[in-house]
Chains A and B, each alone.
Chain A
Amino acid sequence: MEKEVSWWRSSTRRFFDEFEELRQEIEEAFEEIALERPMWDVAESALEPLVEIHERPNHIVVMVDLPLVRKEDIDLKIGEDSLVINAEMREGVRYRRWGTYQKECEFGCLKKHIRLPVDVDPDQTKATFRRGVLKLELAKRERKANP
């Protein structure tokens, strides 16, 4: 009996270890894809801001680094499972002598489409903007009980 329990335990541990490895591999693959994607779009004169997302028990915290942006120039569209940030910069950022076709280009705004890890209630959003960092606290949508 003891032998069976220990076999079951080691098999379960192996399964979870393999599952964790697979999860890490998938996460790393997504990170690789995100890393190789440029953080700028010449056609839209837009730069992509740095974003951090933290999940708390009742809400999601999204922090976005928005240098050169005034609070009144931030446009936010919050949906149930995603949000779009579009922020005009108070002065353009010009790149000179950079790369090939991007030579002499200027960026005037910061744009980002963020897919949220869980559904949120857009009406219960708290936003603060301090030292060029936008902090959003988005309440998780309560799951409806099964009828």
Chain B
Amino acid sequence: MSSRRDSATVVETTPVGEARYGLMGLPDVGLVGPITVGHIIRFLRMEECCHVESDLLPPVVVVHEGLPKSPVRVFRKDDLLAVTSEIPIHPQAIPAIARALMEWLESKRIQLLVSVSGFAVQNRLEIEKPLVYAVGSEEPLKEIISGAGLELFEEGFIVGTHAYMLGESKSRRLRNILLLSQSHLNYPDPEAAVSAIQALDGLLGIKIDTTELEEESEQIRLMTRELMKRTAQTMRQMGKGQELELPAMYR
């Protein structure tokens, strides 16, 4: 039996009914997830509806407009639920946080969860427009991925929160697509987020103007340095470097 000490709960601050799509943007490679989801939340003027509580999270509150808030929060607009975090999720907290979010999203009967992340590439400086790859939790999602004009991520390692979520989605039979935008590893990468947003248009049919994100990309890189620094340390702790390893010859 799990206790509060080793579990997490999604607390609804305003009642949330069923929704069609879930969007996940947690701090990871190049902060692609939080930058993407943060822009969508602002553009669609999504409203905060829930937050995550867990003793596994560090004792941190974020003060916005004079009010303390949990750093891991959920926003809603119409049929879309978006999860984002202002702190990196420590490796030990990943299973509980991921499980709580998946359970909650499942209870909202979402039809598709799209997680957004970056995938570090060594030659990022030479890439004008980052490509977006995708991997789904089950076979039929391959068709949706190719239908959206996205490249399938065929072979390789995925480490961290999204790895856990893909596994959890598979066992719950909750349809989950992970978007991996080519990105810097340890620098915030708003250009990779622009590519991810364009990929989301193909997948979910949501039109998001990226002009503001492109115009403010340099300010975003400056404003997210501290989060990137903390996230980089967390990624090292979880062995994120394995994503850069070549796949084994045999299987």
Contact = CB atoms under 8 A, between A and B. Distances in A.
A50 B233 contact: no
B218 A68 contact: yes
A133 B233 CA distance: 21
A42 interface: no
Most chain B CB inside 10 Å of its own CB: which residue of A31, A52, A67, A130: A67
B229 A67 contact: no
Contacts of A31: 233
Interface size class of B (residues with CB under 8 A): 10 to 19
B219 interface: yes
A49 B225 contact: yes
Contacts of A48: 225
Nearest to A132: B218
B230 A35 contact: yes
Contacts of A130: 125
B187 A133 contact: yes
Contacts of B230: 35
A130 B124 CA distance: 11
Contacts of B218: 67-68, 132
A100 to B, nearest CB: 11
A98 to B, nearest CB: 10
A65 B125 contact: no
Contacts of B223: 93
A50 B229 contact: yes
Contacts of A131: 125
B90 to A, nearest CB: 13
Contact of A50 (B125, B187, B217, B219): B187
B186 to A, nearest CB: 6
A123 B219 CA distance: 34
Contact of B228 (A50, A68, A133): A50
B232 to A, nearest CB: 8
Contact of B221 (A35, A39, A67, A135): A67
A47 interface: yes
B143 interface: no
A35 B229 contact: yes
Contact of A67 (B125, B219, B226, B233): B219
A95 B16 CA distance: 34
Given A47-B222, A65-B187, A39 B229 contact: yes
A118 B187 CA distance: 24
B125 A47 contact: no
A93 B125 CA distance: 24
Nearest to B223: A93
Most chain A CB inside 10 Å of its own CB: which residue of B184, B218, B230: B218
Given A65-B187, A130-B125, A133-B187, A93 B225 contact: no
Interface string B193-228: 000000000000000000000000111011101101
Contact of B125 (A39, A49, A68, A135): A135
A52 B125 contact: no
Given A31-B233, A50-B228, 8 more contacts: A47-B222, A50-B186, A65-B184, A65-B188, A67-B218, A68-B222, A130-B125, A132-B221
24 contacts: A31-B233, A35-B229, A39-B225, A39-B226, A50-B186, A50-B187, A50-B228, A50-B229, A52-B186, A52-B187, A65-B184, A65-B225, A67-B217, A67-B221, A67-B222, A68-B218, A68-B222, A93-B219, A93-B223, A130-B125, A131-B125, A132-B221, A133-B187, A135-B125
Interface of A: 31, 35, 39, 47-50, 52, 65, 67-68, 93, 130-133, 135
Task: List the 5 closest A-B pairs by CB distance, nearest first.
Answer: A67-B218, A67-B221, A65-B187, A68-B218, A130-B125
